[in-house]
Amino acid sequence: MIGLLIQDNAYEQDIRELLMSFYPGETYAHEIKDEVDFYVQTRFAGESAEIALWERAVEGQAADGNPHLPVPVGLEGWRMSAFSRAFCDLSDHSETKNVIKQAFYSILTQRTGHELPWGSLTGIRPTKIALSRLEEGWKEEEIRSFMKKTYLASDEKIDLSIEIASREKRLLEPLDYDRGYSLYVGIPFCPTTCLYCSFTSYPISRWKGRTGLYLEALFKEMEYVAKKMKGRPLDTIYFGGGTPTSLPAEDIDAILTRLDRLFDTKNALEFTVEAGRPDSITEEKLQVLRNHGITRISINPQTMNQKTLDLIGRHHTVEMVKETFHMARELGFDNINMDLIMGLPEEELDDVSRTLEEVEALRPDSLTVHSLAIKRAARLNMFKEEYGGLKISNTPEMIALSEASARRLGMEPYYLYRQKNMAGNFENVGYSLPGKACIYNILIMEELQTIAACGAGTTTKVVFPAENRRERCENVKEVEQYISRIDEMIGRKERILGGCL
């Protein structure tokens, strides 16, 4: 357990996230407790922020021995093991935050003996830093220097950020940020819930014969959005979840038919359906997608090791992944993505290598490589007494293998994002063949365009480019609640969509 003695709570989240990067899985206390291993103290004086680490004095050591700070009340007999004073303009929150994190990062690297690939950067959108500056006219070397000085990130990650930001800039050039928008349709059902998953999803078996109730509410929300956004160019459409293909073929056809009738999709740059789980895919469902002109699908194995699939609760085999992939190819799908996860329980470097070999043999058109991030709502986190002994490791070698595999396939990285509690403190990267990148993936991460979202557990984000402002509203996650409160969900949208036209 780590103790936090923080004078200004405005910086607590930043400090905690940096601590979590160095000490994943730790718990935190804001008061003096016997089980605390060490305390982090921050306070502000004059034009500086002071940071100290306090640890129990061992026999033969002076209790304090450092004149910078008095021993906090309750820590008599403890010693200051590290101290840093960071000078900054305390009236500038952003500058103060970065300076504190730089100083704190330096202390933690000395204490732990290792550095983080992203340095002190804990935000989920590192490419946004590079992309915004490219659009402002910065040179790449200026961006590189800024990220090194401000975030202490590794050269490798800085170069990756700039490469991706440059590619994003080119891919997004055709879009109209002022009037254009994207559409997300969420299907909150899955065949089963994976061990690591915290997304909004419910076992489709519990809704057998009742999915029409969900579709009825969904159609009502879609009709509202179509009417509200009429006349604006629809750039991208993403049909996600959950697992959309967990629905029966007739439900998928009904949703796509209604979408075609309500929205002008003829000029959309792409239409993605997250087929996802191989055990949810049938030839009939794929034919429905082809009939509606779907341009991009995902078939996501996560791993090609059967023992791992069984452990994480994915009720399909490695062979099923291959069979559904080949089936999709035979039906004419020429833009197939595959998702993989680095850091799955009990997987070693050899397991990752085996997965990548199998995927390379299939030759997908894009590859999304995730680093496992365990959220609070995941079974892997909720039932620690059952799963706490599982080994979870993500290494630079695993990340390097996945990148090398994607580049051997002729792919280039085109989007990147990070999450809290990521194994190894790495990132998620999307790779694609030229012309096969998913524009929606970039838009959802960079928050440059309005995304209207329909369905349980979805989030609508409205962008006001002229004001550099963003607003969002969320739909309730629970399906029954979504159905019974659909008018309320539409009312939430009206409050923000009403001001963006």
Residues 6+ positions from 272 with CB-CB distance below 8 Å: 236, 237, 238, 239, 240, 294, 295, 296, 297, 298, 337, 438, 440
* Joined tokens for residue 139: 């040179």
Q: Could you count the other beta carbons within 10 Å of the beta carbon of residue 225?
A: 21
The tokens for 343 are 């850091």
Confidence of residue 241 (pLDDT cuts 50, 70, 90): confident
Q: Which residues contact 9 (CB under 8 A, 6 or more apart)?
A: none
- Taking the whole predicted model, whether its pTM rises above 0.85 is answered as yes
Q: What percent of the chain has pLDDT over 90?
A: 56
- 3-state SS class at 423: helix
- For the ranges 21-30, 218-227, 352-361, which has the lowest average pLDDT? 21-30
Indicate the residue type of 279.
D
Q: Kind of pairing, strands 428-432 and 366-371?
A: antiparallel
Considering the domain 181-495 in this protein, what is its CATH number? 3.80.30.20
- Give the span between the Cα atoms of 243 and 115, in whole angstroms: 38
CA–CA separation, 339 and 300 (whole Å)? 5
Backbone conformation region of residue 384, classed left if phi is above 0, alpha if psi is from -120 to 50, else beta: alpha
Q: Is 78 exposed, middle or buried (0-12, 13-18, 19+ CB in 10 A)?
A: buried
- Looking at the DSSP bridge assignments, the partners of residue 239 are 185, 273
pLDDT in tens, 286-313: 999 999 999 899 998 999 999 999 888 8
Q: What is the mean pLDDT of residues 464-491?
A: 92
Q: How far apart are the first and last CA of the chain?
A: 50
| pLDDT over threshold 70, residue 462 | yes
Instruction: Determine contact, residues 185/239, Cβ cutoff 8 Å.
Output: yes
pLDDT given at position 382: 36
Q: How far apart are CA 9 and CA 448, in angstroms?
A: 30
- Judged by average pLDDT, the poorest of 49-63, 102-116, 348-362, 482-496 is 49-63
Residue 419: exposed, middle, or buried by beta-carbon count in 10 A (0-12, 13-18, 19+)? middle
Distance separating alpha carbons of residues 164 and 182, to the nearest angstrom:
21
Left, alpha or beta for 420 (phi > 0: left; psi -120 to 50: alpha)?
Answer: beta
What is the DSSP track for 61-129?
S-S---SSSPPPTT-TTEEEEEEEEEE--TT-HHHHHHHHHHHHHHHHHHHHS---TTTT---S-HHHH
Asked if 496 contacts 473 with a C-beta cutoff of 8 angstroms, the reply is yes
The residues with which 271 forms a beta bridge, in sequence order, are: 237
Given a cut of 70, whether residue 376 has pLDDT beyond it is: no
DSSP E strands, 316-468: 336-342, 366-371, 412-417, 428-432, 450-454, 459-464
Q: Cα–Cα distance between 18 and 374 in angstroms, integer?
A: 16
The mean of the pLDDT values for the chain is 87
Domain boundaries, the chain: 2-112, 126-172, 181-495
Taking the C-alpha atoms of residue 43 and residue 152, their distance in angstroms, rounded to an integer, is: 23
Q: Kindly report whether the peptide bond that precedes residue 180 is cis, defined as omega within 30 degrees of 0.
A: no
Could you read off the pLDDT of 115-125 as tens digits, one per residue?
A: 998 999 988 88
Q: What angle do CA 69, 48, 92 make, to 5 degrees?
A: 145
pLDDT value, residue 46: 73
The dihedral through the CA atoms of 144, 150, 156, 160 has a sign that is negative
Class of domain 2-112: alpha beta
Ranges of H-type helices in 337-414: 349-362, 379-382, 384-387, 396-408
